Amino acid sequence: MNFNPALYVRKTPSGELELPLFARIMWLNAERPGWRITSEKFSVIAVEVPEGKSISTRYIATGHVSVVDEQGRKVLSVPASAEVDSPFFAEDLFRAGAELALDILGFHVRNIPSEYWQAVSFSEPKPIKHNKKKEEPVPVKEDILEDHFDEHRSDKPVEPEGVDDDVVQMFRRVLSENPAALGFGKNDMKEDTVSLLNKYCYKITGLPWNLAQEEERRAVRECLEKLL
């Protein structure tokens, strides 16, 4: 397997290590060729919530997210829900279900094999011990980790491999002028160009950029051209 999930691990402000959803899906595709994650039908229900003397109504989207193998057989189906409070609630619903499904299948940062951590000079996270003792923080070589994240900060020009220059320029232009048009918020802007382009391509085609074929890449190009 050529894909190394450890290369996509990032450090959260709280000091924990996490593997972004798109990278976990890429890991799944690398180890289970032909497998995919899909959203099933969802419904929206109204929930009345007391707020002081009044009652407000909130809308919740509920449904299932499934993992399908290369022959189209359903391997796993998990429930998911998300509050309908933005135009992207369907994406939130999919994300919640996909993360749960990948956790169940073992595609989690704590399950990355030792050889992949060694390839990027990270210390392998210790497995979670289910006892009453306070969980020890993941042992990470801070200096090496910081150097790795410095290389991938968004203020440095990181070029996705195999990406045409014009697509990169179009993406960067829209990203700088109107990131909301791409569906990105302030937290997303902390990520590097590679991650953001992979995420945008995934929103449009269902595949990250580095796994997209010519047809999917053409669709991304056309979407960017419309935003300019």
Higher-pLDDT residue of 205, 138 = 205
Give the pLDDT confidence of 189-226 residue by residue, as tens digits: 777 777 788 778 777 776 667 666 777 788 788 888 88
What percentage of the chain has pLDDT greater than the value 90?
A: 23
Q: Which domains are delineated in the chain?
A: 20-107 (3.30.390.80), 165-227 (no CATH)
Helices 89-105 and 21-31: angle between axes, nearest 10 degrees: 50
Q: Across residues 78-102, what is the average pLDDT?
A: 89
Please tell me whether residue 50 adopts helix, strand or coil conformation. strand
Higher-pLDDT residue of 8, 181 = 8
| Number of other CB atoms surrounding residue 112 within 10 Å | 22
Higher-pLDDT residue of 142, 199 = 199
State how far the Cα of 142 lies from the Cα of 216, in Å rounded to an integer: 38
Alpha helices in 106-181 (DSSP H): 114-119, 142-150, 165-177
Q: What are the phi and psi torsion angles at 89 (to 5°)?
A: -65, -30
Alpha helices in 7-106 (DSSP H): 21-31, 89-105
What percentage of the chain has pLDDT greater than the value 70?
A: 76
Give the pLDDT confidence of 47-66 residue by residue, as tens digits: 888 888 888 888 999 999 99
State how far the Cα of 97 lies from the Cα of 82, in Å rounded to an integer: 10
What is the pLDDT confidence band of residue 146, given thresholds at 50, 70 and 90? very low
- Count of H helices and E strands in the chain? 7, 5
Alpha helices in 41-152 (DSSP H): 89-105, 114-119, 142-150
Position 140 pLDDT exceeds 70: no
What's residue 107's pLDDT? Answer: 93
State how far the Cα of 107 lies from the Cα of 139, in Å rounded to an integer: 20
Q: What are the phi and psi torsion angles at 133 (to 5°)?
A: -70, 150
What's residue 104's pLDDT? Answer: 94
| Phi-psi domain of 75 (left: phi exceeds 0; alpha: psi -120 through 50; beta: other) | alpha
User: Which residue's entry shows tokens 């801070």?
Assistant: 142
Higher-pLDDT residue of 163, 129 = 129
Q: What is the mean pLDDT of the chain?
A: 77
